[in-house]
Amino acid sequence: MTKTGLLVRVDRAAGGLAADLGLYLISAVFALITALSSTLLPHRAWGAVAAWGYLLAALVVAGQLLLRRQQGRAMIAWVTYAAVALLPLVIQAVQRAGGRTDRAQEEVVVVEHMGESLLHSGSPYLGRAEIAAIPLDERLLGYRPYQPGMAIFGLPRAAAGEHWWTDARIWFAIATVVALGAAVALLRSSPHRVRAIQAATVLPVTALTLATGGDDIPVLALCLLALALAATGRYGWSGAAVGAAAACKLFALPVLAVLAILAVATGNWRRFLPPALGLPLLALLPPLLVDPDALIENVLRFPLGHGLVTSPAQSPFPGYLIAQSVPGGRVLAAALLLAAAAVIALLLLRRPPRTAATAALFCGYGLLTAILLMPTTRFGYLLYPAAFLLWVTALSNHTATTAPQRDTALYRQ
């Protein structure tokens, strides 16, 4: 028996309930360990709440196994999401509004500062001179290494003041639920829909990220929605979804590129490209008109290591280890990253994806390679390739009508 066949059998055991039980139990252990041992206080607070949510989900699934009832798996996933991601998020937002300063990661503060700057100056960014005037121990928070669209999530606090409901994470969550709900509705006929929901909601790396920081989660949700829309032939809306994601974070650009090639290969580029390219470009107009150098300082110089301070994104993946421990390591890591990108680009051009499922494979493996080889990266970024790869099977059932029947690309999975 092949490894793939074994994984399929495990996934389908007891109608999927056995894998559900394993997922929730392992997640409960992860959350408990996080609560007891994490050095990051927001993470500890998340784990203390999420562990109970995962444990209750495991008990419910165990009851289903005993009663041999498979109905309601999707509902259990959504309720678990509320318990392990949304509830800890709201608790931390309320505590933060009450004066706790250890109930949000730095990116939440950065996004809220973007909203303030956008509201008062028309640009979400500070210039290099303004950042240099900030005290050294606070200078990191002066950088906003996101695309201009991310500032939208900071506008509620900028306009209405410090309340629990103006916390940027609340608005990350609202955007995420809307986008994921739409994506799941599009894939409602897929037998793998439950696993797709779990991949985007209850995986610990996803739930933890939303509750404590969260800026990556709406970007991921919009990318998944774009894939689901492409799978069902709605390329105009797919372009709008991934364009909105790219207007918030550069991490969505590889997904945009893969979907653009899919749209060209299937003859849908006229519907896809205008919103996909237009939204990110439109988001760039205000900062370009106000202070183009500030945009370059925040979005390009700082992530590339040429800012006034260095990025704290230093997870011990191969690219970071090479950059830190090998002479000329940063150049070598960059060269490896460019070589990997060139290989993936060549594969895309020689065998372009013709289904959304194949596009998701390219996105998953491509981003996984990039995350491993980037000189500065975060462990949490793994949520992108994990979600894309776990969505492949759910997307597969909706791709047969979006490409010619004799096209062998349908079977390149």
- Report whether pLDDT(63) > 90: yes
User: When comparing pLDDT for 379 and 265, which is higher?
Assistant: 265
Domain boundaries defined on the chain: 1-102, 104-411
Cα separations in angstroms, 389 against 39, 237, 259, 299, 350? 30, 22, 15, 28, 21
| Residue 377 dihedral angles phi and psi, to the nearest 5° | -155, 175
DSSP secondary structure of 334-390: HHHHHHHHHHHHHHHHHS---SHHHHHHHHHHHHHHHHHH-SSB-GGGGHHHHHHHH
Instruction: Count Cβ atoms within 10 A of the Cβ of residue 406 and give its class: 0-12 exposed, 13-18 middle, 19 or more buried.
Output: exposed
Q: Are 132 and 309 in contact (CB under 8 A)?
A: no
The pLDDT assigned to 295 comes to 94
Cα separations in angstroms, 282 against 12, 24, 279, 316, 383? 45, 42, 5, 36, 28
- Report whether pLDDT(401) > 70: no
Question: Hey, what are 229's tokens?
Answer: 């829309």
Question: Hey, what are 212's tokens?
Answer: 């404590």
**Between 253-265 and 235-246, two packed helices, what is the crossing angle to 10 degrees?**
160
- Report whether pLDDT(2) > 50: no
pLDDT digits (tens, 9 = 90+) for 20-54: 999 999 999 999 999 999 999 999 999 999 999 99
- Report whether pLDDT(4) > 50: no
The pLDDT assigned to 397 comes to 66
pLDDT digits (tens, 9 = 90+) for 277-299: 999 999 999 999 999 999 999 99
Question: Hey, what are 127's tokens?
Answer: 């210039």
Report, as an integer, the average pLDDT of 1-26.
69
Q: Are 367 and 385 in contact (CB under 8 A)?
A: yes
Cα separation of 383 and 199, whole Å?
Answer: 9
User: When comparing pLDDT for 59 and 189, which is higher?
Assistant: 59
Collapsed DSSP state (helix, strand, coil) of residue 55: helix
Report, as an integer, the average pLDDT of 312-341.
77
Start-to-end CA distance of the chain, whole Å, equals 18
The pLDDT assigned to 309 comes to 86
Question: Hey, what are 392's tokens?
Answer: 């492949």
224 membership: H or E segment, kind and range: helix 216-231
User: What percent of the chain is modeled with pLDDT above 70?
Assistant: 91
The pLDDT assigned to 313 comes to 66
- Report whether pLDDT(375) > 90: no
User: When comparing pLDDT for 337 and 364, which is higher?
Assistant: 364
- Report whether pLDDT(319) > 70: yes
User: What percent of the chain is modeled with pLDDT above 90?
Assistant: 68
The pLDDT assigned to 399 comes to 44
Report, as an integer, the average pLDDT of 254-272.
96
Q: At CA 144, angle to CA 139 and CA 145, rounded to 5?
A: 115
The pLDDT assigned to 71 comes to 80
- What average pLDDT does the structure give for the chain? 88
pLDDT interval class at 12 (50, 70, 90): low
pLDDT interval class at 189 (50, 70, 90): confident
pLDDT digits (tens, 9 = 90+) for 74-97: 999 999 999 999 999 999 999 999
The pLDDT assigned to 245 comes to 98
pLDDT digits (tens, 9 = 90+) for 123-173: 999 999 999 999 988 888 899 999 999 999 999 999 999 999 999 999 999
The pLDDT assigned to 191 comes to 83
